[in-house]
Amino acid sequence: MEINSRIYVAGHTGLVGSSLVNTLHKKGYKNIVVKTRKELDLTNQAAVEKFFADENIEYVFLAAAKVGGIGANNTYPADFIMENLLIECNVIRSAFNNNVKKLLFLGSSCIYPKLCPQPIKEEYLLTGALEPTNEAYALAKISGLKMCQYFNQQYGTNFISAMPTNLYGPNDRFDANHSHVIPAIITKMEHAKRLNSPTVELWGSGTALREFLYVDDLAYACIFLMENYENHEHINIGTGKEISILELAHLIKRIIGYNGEIVFDKSKPDGTPRKRLDISKLETLGWKATMCLEDGLRKTYDYYKKIDK
């Protein structure tokens, strides 16, 4: 990408998209195109095609998606698969139709089988059954990365795919029941602290292991890949480090300063028992995450306090 290249960030108001826009600006890119959902409905094929035809887009970061935690994925699977497939089909096809030079599609580590060998290598895709609680979202993301591969294979496009591990950071959606695990724990624990509640209840057993990547690290990784990576195969983005949900909860408890007891509701699902990505492919290219988990959580908590007053 050149400094003045016309770059479209799809999903710029979300956790990933907003960080991408900020990071692109920091790196000196000056010609970034964004559209709100009201301005451009990415599930509308005709609207997306007109946008690409009118805007002369050269590079695309496809970060737009319908996302949520275990509860939301399990409750609204039809919405998750349909909306994400529509977004992917419309943006990728219109990028091809309008001669976009390069596109980066962002997936998720949930694309891999539930009981995958650890750490998870890229080639483990489609080698086993998915985690049922987010199968709909995972199938949509698998379809997106395969769509990029198939367009490359059939038409010679330069569409790449990156699969990040669990993300967190400022501008995430903070909701006790429908967000991802870190913002959900922060929300529950902060409210318990303010109410002087003796306990805070979290989903699952606490034994599940997760890897977490600060969103600004992801943004830098995506720009690095756009500048340095050309391959049909998708690539993992992560830290290579994992933590149990129980340990995570106690770390957040210490950061927030909550003095009550953490209680786990074991009737609720844990999701995939373990999910650590093999990031050797990315590290070989010369990129590593820089934000440690505790520092990233403190930044995320500081952001939450500003928006929840």
**Contact present, 89 and 141 (Cβ < 8 Å):** no
203 annotated to a ligand binding site: yes
Q: Is 15 annotated as a binding residue?
A: yes
Whether 93 and 53 have beta carbons less than 8 Å apart is answered as no
234 is in an annotated binding site: no
- Residues sharing a CB contact under 8 Å with residue 275, sequence separation 6 or more, in sequence order: 109, 110, 112, 116, 120, 165, 166, 209, 210, 211, 242
106 is in an annotated binding site: yes
Say whether 165 counts as a known binding-site residue.
Answer: yes
C-alpha pair distances (Å), 260 with each of 21, 67, 193, 303: 39, 30, 8, 23
**For residues 101 and 79, what is the distance between their CA atoms, to the nearest angstrom?**
31
Q: Tell me, what DSSP letter sits at residue 119?
A: S
141 belongs to an annotated ligand binding site: yes
Query: Is residue 287 part of an annotated ligand binding site?
Result: no
From the candidates 8, 137, 220, 301, which is the catalytic residue? 137
**Nearest Cα to Cα of residue 111 among 165, 62, 43:** 165
> CB neighbours of 291 closer than 8 A, spacing ≥ 6?
214, 216, 217
Residues 3-33: b if buried by 16+ CB within 10 A, e if exposed: eebbbbbbbbebbbbbbbbbbbeeeebeebb
Look up residue 131 and give its two tokens: 């985690």
- Whether residue 157 is annotated as binding a ligand: the answer is no
Q: Tell me: is residue 232 an annotated ligand-binding position.
A: no
Does 177 appear as a known binding residue? no
**Is there a binding annotation on residue 173?**
no
| Residue 256 to residue 82: CA distance in whole angstroms | 38
Active-site residue, 137 included: yes
Q: How many angstroms separate the CA atoms of 185 and 307, rounded?
A: 16
**Does 75 carry a binding-site annotation?**
no
Known binding residue 6? Answer is no
Residue 30 is labelled as binding a ligand:
no
Q: Active-site residues: which are they?
A: 137
Provide the annotated binding site. Answer: 11-17, 106-109, 141, 164-167, 180, 188, 203, 210, 270
The annotated binding site for NADP(+) is made up of 11-17, 106-109, 141, 164-167, 180
Q: Which residue numbers belong to the known binding site for substrate?
A: 188, 203, 210, 270
